[in-house]
A and B are shown apart, each in its own frame.
Chain A
Amino acid sequence: MSEISEKSRLRTENLNLYYGSRHALKDITMEIPSRAITAIIGPSGCGKSSLLRVFNRMNDLIPEARVEGNVYLDKISVYGEETDAVALRKKVGMVFQKPNPFPMSIFDNVVIGPRRHGVKHRDELESIAENCLRRVALWEDVKDNLRQSALNLPLGTQQQLCIARTLAIEPEVILMDESCSALDPESTMRVEELMTELAQSYTIMIVTHSMEQAARVSDMSAFMMIDDEKIGRLVEYGTTEQIFSTPKDKRTEDYITGRYG
C-alpha cells in the first residue's frame, strides 16, 4: 500500500454537515489519497451518501443544508467563497445509485457534458464519445446503435454509460454513490473491474453497503456510524487491509464480522 502515502487528493477538516436543525455529520477529518479507491462503509442512514455529496457540493441542492469546517480538493477549498460549485463539479464527477441516463440517444448522453462546456465540432465530439465508451468497455456493444435511446439499454449497461458520461467531462475525482446496488451480480462485476482500472488515473470514492465490494475493490476504507444522538460519525479510517483484518475499534469489528445490529 505504498501508493497511499502519496499526497492526498481530497481532505476534510472538522467537517460538520447540518440539514436545517438536524446535525447529519460530525467532526469528520480524513484524507483521501489520489489514484486509489476509497470506500465509505457503514449501516444505512449513517451519512455515507451525505458525506460523498459534500465533495461535489451536491448537498447545495438541499436548501437548508449547511457545511462547517474545511474541505479541500488539492489546494482548492471546496466551500471557499471564490469556489464555483459548477466549475468544481467538472473536476469531481459523480455516478449515482440508480443508473440515470437522460432520455436521449446513447451518443448525446456521452457528449452532453463536453457539449455544454463548449465543444462544438462534430469530429471532436465523436472522438470523445468513442474514447469514453471504449474506456468503459462499451464501445464494441453500442458503436452501431449510438443513435438509439439510452433508456432501452439494460440497467448494467446504462450504468456503464453513466460512467462514460462522467469520464467525458474529464474529471479528476469520481464519486460513486452505491453505483452497483441496482445491478445484477454480473454487471456489478463489470463495474467493479472498471473501478479498479479507472483508479489508475482517477481518484475514486465509493459508497457501498456491500462490505464484500469494499474488500474487493478498495484501497482505503472508512467506517461510519451514527452515534447516540443520531449524528453521523467517522468511526475508523485506514487501509482496507487493516480495517478488514485488524480493526482498532470494537464497533468496526462488530460491523465487519456481521455482529452489528
Chain B
Amino acid sequence: MKDFKEKLSGRIFFVLALSSISVLALITVFILIKGTPLIAEVGLKDFIFGMTWAPGRGEFGIFPMIAGSVSVTFGAAVIGVPIGICCSIFLAEFAPAWLSKIFRPVIQLLAGIPSVVYGFWGMIFVVPLIRDYLGGPGLSILAGSIILAIMILPTVISISEVSILALPRQYKEGALALGMTHWQAIYSVVLPSAKSGIVASVVLGIGRAVGETMAVIMVLGNAVALPESILDPVRTLTTNIGIEMGYAEGAHEQALFATGIVLFVVIMIINGLAQYITRDKNKGRR
C-alpha cells in the first residue's frame, strides 16, 4: 500500500511536470500548423527576404521586419551591454556592501516594471526628446533601442554579477599576490574567468530584446520599410504580430503565425547559444 502511494505520487508529479513541457509542444505544433502552409505557398526565401508586406494584396515579405528587429536589438545591445557589464563589475568588485545592498533590489525592480510602462515612458519622454533634438519623427530605432537597453539591464547585470561573484576567491587573491593592481586583477584575471557567464548574460539580454513587444510597439513607429538611419521608424517581428493579430484573417493570419515561427526559431537559437556558452567546460576541474 505504501509502495503504491509512493509510486502514485511519483506519477502525479511526473504528469504535472510533463504538462509544462506539453504546453510548449502544443504551442509549437499550433503555430507550425497555422504558419507553415503560408510559408510553403509564398516560398521560404520570398517570405524571409521579400521586401513588401501588403496582406491586402497577398504580398507577405517580412524582411523589413527582420531588419527592424535586428537593428533595434543591436542598438539595445550597444547601449545596454557596456552599461550593464560595468554596473556588474562595480557591484561585484568596487561597491561597498551597503551600496550593493541598495543597488541589487533596485535593479531587480527594473525587471519588474511592466513593459507597457516602459513603452509609455518612452513615448512621453524619450520620443519627444529625440524628435526635438535629433530630428525625425522621434518614433525610431533609437527610441526603441534606448527603451530595450534599459529593459535588458537587469538580465545583463544580475547574471554577469553572479558569474563574477561565483569565481573562487583564490583567483583574485592570486592576481593581487602577483603585484597587480585591483583593476589589473579585474581585467586580466577576473573578467576572463567570468567570460562565459558574462557572454551568456549578453545573449539572454539579446533574447529578451528580440522578444519584447509592448514597449517597442509604442516607440518604434511601426512603419514597414527598411530604415535608412537610426532616426527612422521601423517595425519588428514581434510588433508585426502584436499590431495586426487583432483583425487578421485567412492568409494574413497565417502570415502572422509564420512570422511567429521565424521569431520562435530565432529565440531558440539565441537560448541554445546561451546554454552552449554556459555549459560546464571544466568538468574535470577540482
Contact = CB atoms under 8 A, between A and B. Distances in A.
A104 B178 CA distance: 16
A5 B149 CA distance: 66
Given A102-B189, A102-B193, A103-B193, A165 B178 contact: yes
Given A102-B189, A112-B189, A151-B285, A117 B179 contact: yes
A1 interface: no
Contacts, number: 69
A91 B179 CA distance: 8
Interface string B163-187: 0000010110111111111001000
Contact of A61 (B171, B173, B193, B284): B173
A93 B179 CA distance: 8
B282 A103 contact: yes
A238 interface: no
B173 A116 contact: no
Contacts of A43: none
B217 to A, nearest CB: 43
Interface in A128-173: 149, 151-152, 155, 162, 165-166, 169
B154 to A, nearest CB: 27
Contact of B177 (A93, A98, A103, A117): A93
Given A113-B180, A115-B188, 18 more contacts: A61-B176, A86-B180, A86-B181, A89-B178, A89-B179, A90-B179, A91-B179, A93-B177, A93-B178, A96-B173, A102-B175, A102-B189, A104-B192, A113-B178, A116-B188, A117-B179, A151-B285, A166-B177
A50 interface: no
A152 B281 CA distance: 11
Q: Main SS of chain B's interface residues?
A: helix
Q: Which 5 A-B pairs have the closest CB atoms?
A: A90-B179, A100-B170, A94-B177, A113-B178, A89-B179
Interface string A72-105: 0000000000000011111101101010101110
B179 A113 contact: yes
Nearest to A56: B177
A58 interface: yes
Given A113-B180, A165-B178, A102 B171 contact: yes
A155 B284 CA distance: 11
Nearest to B193: A103
B189 A86 contact: no
Given A102-B193, A103-B282, A116-B188, A89 B171 contact: no
Contacts of A155: 286
Nearest to B286: A155
Nearest to A57: B176
Give the interface SS of chain A, mostly helix, strand, loop or mixed: helix
Chain B, interface size category, equals: 20 to 34
Contacts of B285: 151
Interface in B168-216: 168, 170-171, 173-181, 184, 188-189, 192-193
Contacts of A104: 192
Contacts of A98: 170
Contacts of B170: 96, 98, 100
29 contacts: A58-B177, A86-B180, A89-B177, A89-B179, A91-B179, A93-B177, A94-B177, A96-B170, A96-B173, A98-B170, A102-B171, A102-B189, A103-B171, A103-B282, A104-B192, A112-B175, A112-B189, A113-B178, A116-B179, A116-B180, A151-B284, A151-B285, A152-B284, A155-B286, A162-B174, A165-B174, A165-B178, A166-B177, A169-B179
Contacts of A151: 282, 284-285
Interface in A100-124: 100, 102-104, 112-113, 115-117
B188 A112 contact: yes
B178 A166 contact: yes
